[in-house]
Structure 1
Amino acid sequence: MTDAERVVDDAVEDASDDDDDSPLQELVAGVVVALIFLVGFGLLALGEWWFWIVFPVGFAGVLPAALALVRIYESRRGYDASESMTTETEDALETLRRRYATGELSEEEFEAKVERLLETETVADARESAASRRREGKAGETERETAFDRD
């Protein structure tokens, strides 16, 4: 790999790291872009000769300003998707530790639950995984009962 290819690969990796937009940022960007197009093409339809000014002003000024305001708003509210996921996992681990310390869970149960928790990425994934295990467990119980009844 040449130095130029390495530089391009590094730039692509750096750019992909910056693509962590929140849902609010995506919504604001979409609304602002739609408004820029609506105003620009609306002025064109009305026959205004200066309609083209809307596009550079909108895309170079209004859109970055709107996204900056959203980022400021989210930083003041403390929004960060990766932090919220980490916090949820830490909260769940803390609950498991507390239950183990108070004797609600045996060592085997504690280890199994921690392992399952760490296998899932979010609390919602953990709930979905637990629900599927319950469904499988009920299906297994039905099969065992049927086999027991035959004997």
Structure 2
Amino acid sequence: MDEQTPSERLRDNATEIASLLVTGFWLAALLTGQSWWLGALIVGYVVVVPIVSLLFGDSETERDWWDDLWDSNVVVGTTDEMDDEPDEVSETPLETLRRRYAAGELTDEQFERKLERLLETETLEDAEERVARERLREREL
């Protein structure tokens, strides 16, 4: 495993660190009774954090995210309005991620990052939809 220097880790986590500092700054202002805490919150999250993300963000991760978002393989099959049967059942985002990793399109680090993001962003509705798709597939078999 590659050992990163503190400056490399700082650069890799600049957006997260900026978010933490902005949060600490406005929260300290709020708790000490400063009247400008709301302005600090708004400026911090609307200006400072996005600028830090643009300057130090991982462009490869952003590019991969956008590619995944617009990739037709990620889109769940559509439903015909006349019946409730799906016309097409495509692979789930997790299946796409596994396939791309197995095909060598993603490094170990990219796979782990995308897997963490996928698991963090799965909502209750997403989980229910995934379970429904899995049940439908089981019925088809």
TM-score by length of 1: 0.32
Tell me which protein shows more helix as a share of its residues. Answer: 1
Bigger Cα Rg: 1
TM-score by length of 2: 0.34
